[in-house]
Amino acid sequence: MEPKRIKSALISVFYKDGLEDIVRALDAKGVTIYSTGGTYKFIKDLGVDAVTVESLTGYPSILGGRVKTLHPKVFGGILSRRNMFSDGEQLNEYEIPEIDLVIVDLYPFEQTVASGASEQDIIEKIDIGGISLIRAAAKNFADVVIVPSVDHYAEFLKLYTEQEGCLTLEQRHRFAAYAFAVSSHYDSAIFNHFNETENVEAFRQSSNKCTTLRYGENPHQKGCFYGDLEACFDKLNGKEISYNNLGDIDAACNLIDDFDQTAVAILKHNNACGMACRNTLLDAWKDALAGDPVSAFGGIIITNRKVTKEVAEEMHKIFFEVCIAPDYDDDALTILRGKKNRIILRRKEFKMSDVVFRNVLNGILVQDKDSVVPKAEELTESVTSTKVTPQMAADMAFATILVKHTKSNAIVLAKNGQLLASGTGQTSRVDALRQAIAKAQSFGFDLNGAVMASDAFFPFPDCVEIAHNAGITGVVHPGGSIHDQDSIDYCEKNKMAMVITGKRHFKH
């Protein structure tokens, strides 16, 4: 099919950025331009002739601008099928001009919501005419070109200029696909805003930003990220962020955000292999690394404090993939940039998602994020006669946060604000504990006086017995087993403190 020449255009946009070059290109080809309100004024101020939609329809803009383009003389000209004689007859009968190009940029609904505007202002930014124009022009892509947002101005202008005012059917089809992406995203954003208070049982998530990754979890798998990484981080150094990097980065951010104290965490495969809270960042780094210097190789480092030169010098001594921090000294950056592939990220203020998604079978699982963050003052009541000391309560809170972020079945051993070891992703809680004890002992940690946190209850007293024999004196877990009393009795007999939180923290 031959490319179709554009003879007429309807332009109605919110943002005018980048529009001037298109208007001048259309004018140079003698295209008749129809427009509305502020867009019409913008075009006229460029010295380009345009026809108001009001003069086309015979009706003024009404209801404070809510109704401008919703008229048969507009939509008839867009939706008419050029190859159907009867459509052409009706256009002639009602004096409706054909419209070959529609350029729309919708009211900024999402930006208005994000700005904290009033509900009335938000409602007024629900575009009606624009979204209708987009859908109509996209439906009739066989004859009409739709440019549905400012993001598509440049591509359209390039094609229009290179092809002397014509676009092919394949190109019009692609712009129609863009259009339905824009309209579906827009409607999803509106629905999700309304559903914040309504809880309609429907799932809508949408992203207009896609980053193609080198590959997925493995080289033979394709991968991409839908989201806006630039809103989350400034990338200051390093190679392209990978699929696996992103999983670890997400896990690291979720973990560190649960801590107010100066903290450093080192993660591998979404689990912390080292973590410590200290008065200084340098001490936090050293003690986090001591937790498992072997697993730290190739890991992800995250902190909630500015990285200084002295800390960077210590970090630089090992190989790691990614470093994440709220900021860096200039000297620290110079040191960390010593490895050209090392990814260095500076966090921005952004909101992490409050919900968690997971695809299963032919659908999606959705749940609230596990946002429970235990505090030391909440963990002072032992169910045994052995009292919880202030340090033990602080360690229980520290360990419980860590176990919340560790793959189930999970056990975390901690002492004095330091992760000694964890047992992760085991099918048996006993195996998870034995793994943690063996790991802690292999790095020379003294478990006497340490605490043990479990992500779920103990069905039998075997875990507390193993922990006691290793020197552990404090236990924190959610409870809920019909055999809870057996574990309590063992701790009572052996002078172990036990705190039951009532909050399970499975992570699969």
In sequence order, the β-bridge partners of residue 4 are 167
Query: Could you report how far apart the first and last alpha carbons of the chain are, in Å?
Result: 53
E strands, 134-250, are: 145-147, 166-167, 210-212, 224-226, 233-237
Instruction: Tell me the CA distances in angstroms from 294 to 20, 163, 241, 274, one per residue in order.
Output: 59, 60, 23, 10
What are the residues whose beta carbons fall under 8 Å from the beta carbon of 256, sequence distance 6 or more?
263, 265, 302, 303, 304, 324
* Single-letter code of the amino acid located at 484: D
What are the residues whose beta carbons fall under 8 Å from the beta carbon of 302, sequence distance 6 or more?
252, 253, 255, 256, 264, 265, 267, 323, 324, 325
User: Please, what's the b/e burial string for 306-315 (b: 16 or more CB within 10 A of its CB; e: otherwise)?
Assistant: ebeebbbeeb
Strands 51-52, 4-5: pairing is unpaired
- Candidates 16, 269, 316, 503; catalytic one: 269
Measured distance CA(452)–CA(193) in Å, rounded: 42
What are the residues whose beta carbons fall under 8 Å from the beta carbon of 313, sequence distance 6 or more?
335
Q: Where are the alpha helices (DSSP H) in 80-162?
A: 85-93, 109-114, 119-124, 129-139, 153-162
In sequence order, the β-bridge partners of residue 166 are 5
- Candidates 7, 16, 29, 139; catalytic one: 139
Residue at token pair 């902190």: 303
Residue at token pair 């994440």: 324
Do residues 463 and 486 lie in contact, with contact meaning Cβ atoms separated by under 8 Å?
Answer: no
Do residues 506 and 483 lie in contact, with contact meaning Cβ atoms separated by under 8 Å?
Answer: no
Catalytic residue at 269? Answer: yes
E strands, 317-432, are: 320-325, 343-347, 355-360, 363-368, 411-415, 418-423
**Helix or strand run (H / E) with residue 433:** helix 429-442
Residue positions annotated with a catalytic role: 139, 269
